[in-house]
Amino acid sequence: MTTQRKIAKILRTSPEVIFELEKKMEKITGKEKVLGKILKENEEKIKESLKKIGLNLKSSAPEIYNSLFNKIKKEDDYLYQFLESPNFNNFSGCQFLINSAKKISGEKTGFFLVEKKAKELLQLNPPQNILKLLGYPSTEDLLKKENLLEIFCALRFVEDPHWLNDVFLKPYSKLSPTDFEEREIKIIVLSSKWKKIGEKFAGKKLHHISHLKELGIIFVIPFEKYPGATLEIFSLILHYLYEVEFYSKIFQKYSSEEDFGQKITSALKGEIKRLPNGDKDKIYLKIIQRYLGKQNPDDPRLLEPHLNPEVIHWEKAEDNLVKLGEESPQSDLEFFKDLDFVGDFFKENIKKEVLISFDLVDNLISLTKGSILGIKYLYHHQEALWNKIFEEYIGKEKIEDLLIDNLDKGYVKLNSDLI
């Protein structure tokens, strides 16, 4: 199998897409055999990783899958002990975990919506499901008794997503830079009243934690510990710290441009825009702000060359996990360093082979959601591989700047001027 066909098989796209991409990238950058270099690195990392867990390239997919699960379980146990056995039902029980995340990532501030304006937005479009759930007749009564930030967090998992995008976010288009201020990113654990209702949200989101980019908040929905929970929540907190910081840079950039509110709204919706008509000398890469594979693994946009900022946030988070692992004598979190784009096909049985992702997050979610081999999560790995291709061609350090500069357009235009 040729290099291009192997890359295409892993990414589930057509060989023609990869052949055409390689041809254009070589012309733009002057770099050759980049895809071969990536495949060689992929194979070397797989060999090294398998050796560490007592396996080899001839091992079966179930053997590898289960060994990766066991590895994560051990690392989760070590981290649970190191972080002083966090209780995920309240803030005080997670205090050391939260403090540790802030310590290794660095204290982060950003450009976020002022609370006064957030209150006005709630009053403008009352959250009917929350009002009904908590038994309040009006938003005014709700805000007298409840915490404003908790209510904003609850919007994400109590209200209908279509209402959020089509109704609640509509007034955001009229926001101005004066409605924002510089302040610290907050990490909170919601009060116990949200525990039961939050269980439905966790099923859809695949985890018990999320964030509000415009308010600079990362929140945990209370829950009982499960296998992999400590590593999952800690890594997600780190991920969201970098994601919120990333969008804060975008908000700050928009503050000196026209249509501030409209651009903010588009960024918060994670809109994926159409590409302009291209030409033979340029490549237009769609920016996909979210994990489409979570909703539909067969979304056709995933089969086209693209960039995803989520990959960058995870790279930074995983680098921080390695730093934390160095402080714990029992931990071996370094095992997962730089494995986000790594994966290959292994035999499940005599007739069938399956793709195994070595990415930490894919395996964490597969573990915590109890997936069987045939439906394990792969989307973090595949998105990371798309990013990896362009990192090798134009330089890893340029990717984040390109995403920030072009997010409002929805695409990055690659040509020789960028190299």
The answer to whether 221 and 234 are in contact (CB under 8 A) is no
Buried b / exposed e over 148-160, threshold 16 CB at 10 Å, is: ebbbbbbbbbbbe
Q: Is the pLDDT of residue 372 over 80?
A: no
* Tens digit of each residue's pLDDT (9 = 90 or more) over 233-279: 999 999 999 999 999 999 999 999 999 999 999 999 998 888 887 66
Q: Which two tokens stand for residue 122?
A: 């709630």
Alpha-carbon separation of residue 366 from 43, 315, 347, 369 (angstroms): 23, 19, 19, 5
Q: Which two tokens stand for residue 177?
A: 């830079």
β-pairing, 343-347 vs 353-357, is antiparallel
Buried b / exposed e over 33-62, threshold 16 CB at 10 Å, is: ebbeebbeebeebbeebbeeeebeeebebb
Q: Is the pLDDT of residue 373 over 50?
A: no
What is the rounded CA–CA span in Å between residue 369 and residue 374? Answer: 13
DSSP 8-state code for residue 275: P
Q: What is the mean pLDDT of the chain?
A: 92
Mean pLDDT of 2-19: 96
Confidence of residue 371 (pLDDT cuts 50, 70, 90): low
What is the rounded CA–CA span in Å between residue 231 and residue 221? Answer: 16
Cross-strand pairs, 186: 217
What is the rounded CA–CA span in Å between residue 399 and residue 246? Answer: 12
Cross-strand pairs, 111: 182
Q: Is the pLDDT of residue 280 over 70?
A: no
* Tens digit of each residue's pLDDT (9 = 90 or more) over 189-248: 999 999 988 877 666 665 789 999 999 999 999 999 989 999 999 999 999 999 999 999
Cross-strand pairs, 183: 110
Provide the CB-side half-sphere exposure for 272 (13 A, CA): 17
Window from 83-92, 274-283, 358-367 with minimum mean pLDDT: 274-283
Q: Is the pLDDT of residue 419 over 70?
A: no
Alpha-carbon separation of residue 232 from 142, 334, 368 (angstroms): 32, 16, 8
What is the rounded CA–CA span in Å between residue 170 and residue 323? Answer: 41
Q: For residue 200, with 0-12 CB atoms within 10 Å meaning exposed, 13-18 middle and 19 or more buried, which class applies?
A: exposed
The pTM of the full predicted model, rounded to 2 decimals, is 0.94
Give Cβ neighbours of residue 189 (< 8 Å, ≥ 6 apart). Answer: 88, 89, 90, 91, 93, 94, 219, 220, 222
Window from 78-92, 144-158, 198-212 with minimum mean pLDDT: 198-212
pLDDT value of position 281: 64
What share of the chain in percent tops pLDDT 90? 79
